[in-house]
């Protein structure tokens, strides 16, 4: 993809394209700077969903967010899945391609979840190998997203942001910094979200994700569930603002996957993210000028 288009995304907030909104998007062409899609929903050989995506791609930049590479699996990467992702990337020409620091496939079984990893030297070696292989197969840089976690391992000596920093250093991949996931993981595992952001290699952040979560009580313990089913929480907006102050403006995506509201609500959330980006740029200029 021309780098020009990626530059245009730099300070823009897009939204996740959901099937219930596709007809409205095609009919009304809303003023949204870009869309992101889940790659695995478009890997069929044909059909109306793929045709609609091709139409939308004619008018908007599209980022591709995968859930199926299983970068942390102890098994080798699924070569067929990589080929299918490459074919889709060639077809849609996305501006960004991403997947997660997690695993979901073992022994030919796909567990439909972004499962957690113990952050050990063994895992680091394996994840770096898989990221490098994926980047070779795709012929482009991959962004790796921090997951939301509900547990940690007894033996997991490397903190998650340091683990991500090392993956970036060894493979040259980019980071997809999911601010909601940092908030969810921090509450669920008792971490300091500001310290988490500070430990990330913020220069490698090429995209932010924002989404809503639910707050639950489990046996008297507060557990945040990353269900992408609500507006972005105030604490997440604040953390995003802080992350922006470290990284500068980056393409930012508002995700919404359950209890999906009207398209206008997603656009409102994206406009708010765009406003925060604008004021962080203004603040930067002010700091430079003073």
Partner 1 sequence: MPLLREVQTTFVGAMLGGDAAPAAEYVAVDGLLPEARLQIYRHHVVSSLTAALQATYPVVARLVGDGFFRYAAHEFIGARPPAGPCLFEYGEALGDFLAAFPPCRELSYLSDVARLEWSLNVATHADEFVPLDPANLRHLGADDAEALTFRFDPSVSFVASSWPIDAIWRANQPGADPDRTVDLDAGGVRLEIRRVGDDVVFRGLEPAAYAFRRSLLAGRSLAGALTTAQAEDEAFDLTEALRALFEDNVLSGFRLAPVRKENSS
Binding residue for partner 1 (CB under 8 A) from 26, 87, 106, 262? Answer: 106
DSSP state letter for 65? E
Binding residue for partner 1 (CB under 8 A) from 6, 8, 30, 43? Answer: 43
Q: In DSSP terms, which residues pair with 97 in a beta bridge?
A: 64
Q: Is 122 in the site for partner 1 (CB under 8 A)?
A: yes
Binding residue for partner 1 (CB under 8 A) from 8, 57, 60, 120? Answer: 120
**Piece in contact with partner 1 (CB under 8 A), picked from 10-18, 90-98, 118-126, 130-138:** 118-126
By the 8 A CB rule, do 82 and 69 touch? yes
Q: Is 215 in the site for partner 1 (CB under 8 A)?
A: no
Judged by beta carbon, residue 121 or residue 262, the one nearer partner 1 is 121
Tokens of 130: 């898989």
Q: Which of 173, 87, 205, 102 is nearest to 137 (CA)?
A: 87
By the 8 A CB rule, do 251 and 96 touch? yes
Q: Is 45 in the site for partner 1 (CB under 8 A)?
A: yes
Tokens of 180: 């909601």
Q: Which of 165, 240, 185 is nearest to 208 (CA)?
A: 240
Tokens of 217: 């009580």
Binding residue for partner 1 (CB under 8 A) from 113, 169, 285, 286? Answer: 113
Q: Is 87 in the site for partner 1 (CB under 8 A)?
A: no
Site for partner 1, residues 179 to 208, rule: CB under 8 A: 189-190
Judged by beta carbon, residue 4 or residue 80, the one nearer partner 1 is 80
Residue indicated by tokens 């997951």? 147
Strand 13-16 versus strand 35-38 pairing type: parallel
Q: In DSSP terms, which residues pair with 217 in a beta bridge?
A: 222
Binding residue for partner 1 (CB under 8 A) from 27, 154, 264, 290? Answer: 154
Residues binding partner 1: number (CB under 8 A): 53
Judged by beta carbon, residue 50 or residue 238, the one nearer partner 1 is 50
Q: In DSSP terms, which residues pair with 221 in a beta bridge?
A: 218
How far is Cα 109 from Cα 113, in angstroms, rounded to an integer? 12
Q: Is 46 in the site for partner 1 (CB under 8 A)?
A: yes
Residue indicated by tokens 């952050």? 119
Judged by beta carbon, residue 115 or residue 200, the one nearer partner 1 is 115
Q: What are phi and psi of 208, to 5 degrees?
A: -110, 145
How far is Cα 236 from Cα 230, in angstroms, rounded to an integer? 12
Binding residue for partner 1 (CB under 8 A) from 158, 225, 230, 238? Answer: 225
Phi-psi map region of 243: left, alpha, beta (phi>0 left; psi -120 to 50 alpha): alpha
Binding residue for partner 1 (CB under 8 A) from 93, 133, 135, 156? Answer: 156
Q: Is 229 in the site for partner 1 (CB under 8 A)?
A: no
Q: In DSSP terms, which residues pair with 215 in a beta bridge?
A: 224
Binding residue for partner 1 (CB under 8 A) from 51, 83, 285, 286? Answer: 51
Quote the least distance from Cβ 221 to partner 1, whole Å.
5
Residues that bind partner 1 (CB under 8 A): 40-41, 43-49, 51, 67-68, 70, 72-75, 78, 80-81, 84, 103-113, 115, 117-118, 120, 122-123, 126, 150-156, 189-190, 218-219, 221, 223, 225
């Amino acid at each position: 993809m021309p780098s020009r288009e990626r530059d245009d995304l730099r300070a823009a907030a897009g939204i996740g394209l959901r099937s219930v909104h596709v007809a409205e998007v095609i009919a009304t062409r809303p003023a949204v700077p870009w869309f992101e899609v889940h790659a695995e929903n478009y890997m069929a050989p044909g059909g109306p969903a793929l045709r609609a995506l091709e139409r939308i791609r004619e008018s908007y930049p599209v980022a591709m967010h995968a859930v199926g590479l299983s970068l942390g699996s102890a098994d080798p990467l699924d070569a067929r899945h990589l080929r299918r992702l490459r074919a889709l990337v060639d077809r849609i020409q996305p501006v960004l391609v991403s997947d997660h620091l997690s695993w979901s496939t073992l022994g030919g079984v796909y567990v439909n979840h972004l499962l957690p990893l113990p952050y050990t030297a063994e895992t680091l070696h394996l994840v770096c190998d898989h990221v490098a292989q994926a980047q070779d197969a795709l012929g482009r840089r991959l962004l790796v997203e921090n997951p939301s976690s509900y547990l940690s391992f007894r033996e997991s000596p490397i903190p998650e942001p340091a683990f991500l920093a090392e993956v970036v250093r060894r493979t040259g991949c980019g980071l997809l910094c999911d601010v909601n996931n940092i908030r969810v993981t921090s509450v669920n595992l008792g971490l300091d979200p500001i310290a988490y952001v500070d430990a990330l290699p913020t220069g490698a952040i090429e995209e932010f994700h924002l989404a809503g979560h639910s707050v639950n009580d489990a046996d008297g313990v507060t557990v945040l569930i990353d269900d992408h089913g609500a507006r972005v929480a105030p604490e997440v907006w604040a953390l995003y603002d802080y992350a922006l102050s470290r990284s500068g403006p980056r393409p930012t995506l508002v995700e919404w996957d359950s209890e999906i509201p009207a398209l206008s609500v997603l656009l409102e959330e994206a406009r708010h993210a765009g406003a925060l980006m604008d004021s962080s740029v203004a603040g930067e200029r002010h700091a430079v000028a003073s």
